[in-house]
Amino acid sequence: MFFVYFASFLYLLAAQDENVDDDDEFLKPPPDDEGSFAHPLHRTYLEDSYCMDGTQAAAYVYEGSTDDLIMYFYSGGICISDNTKFLKYGDYAYIDNCTHRNTTFYGTSNGYPEEFNANQGLMGNNKYQNFHLRKAHKMFLMYCDGNMWHSQMNSQVFKGALSQMKLIPKRIILAGSGVGGWYIINKYNELKSAIQELYQDNDIELRILLDSVIFDISRNQDIINAYTEVTNRIGISINDIFSFDALLKVDVPTFIVHAQYDWWQLEINDGFECIGKIHLDKCTPKEKKQIEKIRLNILQQLKDLMKIKQDWGLWAISCVFNELIIWTEAWNHPKFQVPMIEGGKLSDKFQDWLENKGDNHVHYDIVSWPDNKPCSNIFHSGKTDPQLDDMIKNYEINESRRKREEKYDL
Ligand SMILES: *[C@@H]1O[C@H](CO)[C@@H](O)[C@H](O)[C@H]1NC(C)=O
Ligand SMILES: *[C@@H]1O[C@H](CO)[C@@H](O)[C@H](O)[C@H]1NC(C)=O
Ligand SMILES: *[C@@H]1O[C@H](CO)[C@@H](O)[C@H](O)[C@H]1NC(C)=O
């Protein structure tokens, strides 16, 4: 899977060991630092839960040693009958045709390896990746139904998944990116009941962590049509997704993570070719002005939501990215902070919120791109940051290569 190369690349940055250059080395802890050892996650199959092609749905598990349990719902867009309009974006629209998706990593569990050793960010278990929650129990739920989770998951399946975990948790964090996040938003009540039924008398604290769920698709009829095909198929409404009304209904404390220049929003949905997933440097002043309007409109809605939901939290960075919590680079890295000075790392801010520490849990950059300089990918001189540039470029290249591979190699 695409995490492998990227993770070892990040590890290279952290490890100061010039000889670390393959995956075996990646698993070897550096001397004197037990906290750097990255433990793989182990595959498990979920009962009565199936991928598009009928294979059994799977998850990857880490047995931790605290009372926290993180259930993470992965992202991956949708499949529709005819995706001709999105073919030009390659793999990045995350809108496939169903025939094609059936044979990919997002449609079948065939070829999922037994161990997943490049877990990062929230799914990481060493100090560098995931300082605060490294010892939490974790389940990385793999998305493979093309139906925004609505076919492969339900409260019975969820209970089965929970009962595979060897703990009675004190706290459960339901985390999700993209459509995984929207599944949690739509079904939080059922997931909550499943938790109550399973653990009966135990008082379990429930928290939600949503990553890259806020999109404004109102200007793109093709995307509206594509998502409507799926919402019709699964019996929900298009207003149940990407909507602040749906978010407002959620009555569980929730933390929202958002890239103010989300490239899926700007490049795929709004068609700004100047983005290139990396920075806005190629955009004209006119394009930048349009982009600012989009960014500020979404940010304002997020701020309004936070006024209504007093116990919620927000971390919204002024950088170009998409999906932040399972990348160490964004979750726990000094280049990604709000505000940009020391002390605004996502993992720290999330932990403060989780522990009710401090009274401000709403963090957003007020500056435009590229003024959160460390994550802007631009130096003061206007040149791009070669390190960040490489990271993001390689991530793209390897991700699309990974998807084309017949054999899945996590
Ligand atoms: C992407 O893959 C190539 C070839 O497999 C590798 O050399 C490169 O380091 C990978 N990218 C990253 C970010 O590790
Ligand atoms: C389905 O998608 C694949 C890959 O994106 C493409 O090669 C194929 O032509 C598409 N098929 C149809 C019927 O659109
Ligand atoms: C997916 O694959 C399964 C098994 O090969 C097949 O029965 C099903 O019709 C396929 N679905 C689509 C949409 O191609």
Residues 6+ apart with CB under 8 A from 91: 399, 400, 403
* Residue 27, both tokens: 């698993």
* pLDDT (average), residues 292-304: 97
Query: Which ligand neighbours the alpha carbon of 409 most closely?
Result: 1
**Total domains in the fold of the chain:** 1
The model's pTM is 0.86
User: What is the pLDDT confidence band of residue 1, given thresholds at 50, 70 and 90?
Assistant: very low
Instruction: Please check the confidence at residue 20 and state whether its pLDDT lies above 50.
Output: no
Identity of the residue numbered 359: D
Query: Which residue range forms the structural domain that includes residue 352?
Result: 2-407
Counting residues of the chain whose pLDDT is more than 70, the rounded percentage is 82
Query: Which ligand neighbours the alpha carbon of 89 most closely?
Result: 2
CA of 155 to the centre of ligand 3 (A): 25
DSSP secondary structure code for residue 370 in this structure? T
Instruction: Please check the confidence at residue 405 and state whether its pLDDT lies above 90.
Output: no
- By alpha-carbon position, which residue is closest to atom 2 of ligand 3? 53
- CA–CA separation, 377 and 354 (whole Å): 30
Contact between 326 and 123 (Cβ < 8 Å): yes
> Would you say the CB of residue 228 lies under 6 angstroms from ligand 1?
no
What pLDDT score was predicted for residue 39? 84
CA of 258 to the centre of ligand 2 (A): 31
Q: At what angle do helices 3-15 and 386-404 cross, to 10 degrees?
A: 150
- From residue 25, alpha-carbon distances to 121, 123, 127, 134, 342 in Å are 19, 20, 18, 20, 31
Contact between 27 and 101 (Cβ < 8 Å): no
What pLDDT score was predicted for residue 276? 80
* Residue 343, both tokens: 């002390």
- The predicted-structure confidence for 45-58, as pLDDT tens digits, reads as follows 999 999 999 999 99
Instruction: Please check the confidence at residue 409 and state whether its pLDDT lies above 80.
Output: no
Query: Which ligand neighbours the alpha carbon of 96 most closely?
Result: 2
The better pLDDT of the pair 239, 19 is held by: 239
CA of 5 to the centre of ligand 1 (A): 5
With a Cβ cut-off of 6 Å, ligand 2 is lined by 82-84, 87, 97, 99-100
Contact between 264 and 220 (Cβ < 8 Å): no
CA of 53 to the centre of ligand 3 (A): 5
Contact between 257 and 209 (Cβ < 8 Å): yes
- The predicted-structure confidence for 230-288, as pLDDT tens digits, reads as follows 999 999 999 999 999 999 999 999 999 999 999 999 999 999 999 987 889 899 999 99
Query: Which ligand neighbours the alpha carbon of 22 most closely?
Result: 1
- The predicted-structure confidence for 206-216, as pLDDT tens digits, reads as follows 999 999 999 99
CA of 79 to the centre of ligand 2 (A): 11
Instruction: Please check the confidence at residue 18 and state whether its pLDDT lies above 60.
Output: no
- CA–CA separation, 240 and 244 (whole Å): 9
Residue to mutate (ligand 3; options 102, 106, 229, 233; most atoms within 8 A of CB) = 102
Counting residues of the chain whose pLDDT is more than 90, the rounded percentage is 72
- By alpha-carbon position, which residue is closest to atom 7 of ligand 2? 100
Cα torsion 399, 400, 405, 408: sign: positive
Cα torsion 361, 367, 369, 370: sign: negative
Q: Where are the alpha helices (DSSP H) in 111-243?
A: 127-130, 155-163, 179-199, 221-234
- By alpha-carbon position, which residue is closest to atom 14 of ligand 1? 5
CA of 246 to the centre of ligand 2 (A): 32
- From residue 72, alpha-carbon distances to 61, 200, 382 in Å are 10, 22, 38
- CA–CA separation, 5 and 19 (whole Å): 15
* pLDDT (average), residues 349-374: 93
Q: What is the DSSP string of 304-338?
A: HHHHH-TT-EEEEEEEEES--TT-HHHHS-TTSBS
> Would you say the CB of residue 5 lies under 6 angstroms from ligand 1?
yes
Residue to mutate (ligand 2; options 100, 403, 404; most atoms within 8 A of CB) = 100
User: What is the pLDDT confidence band of residue 342, given thresholds at 50, 70 and 90?
Assistant: low
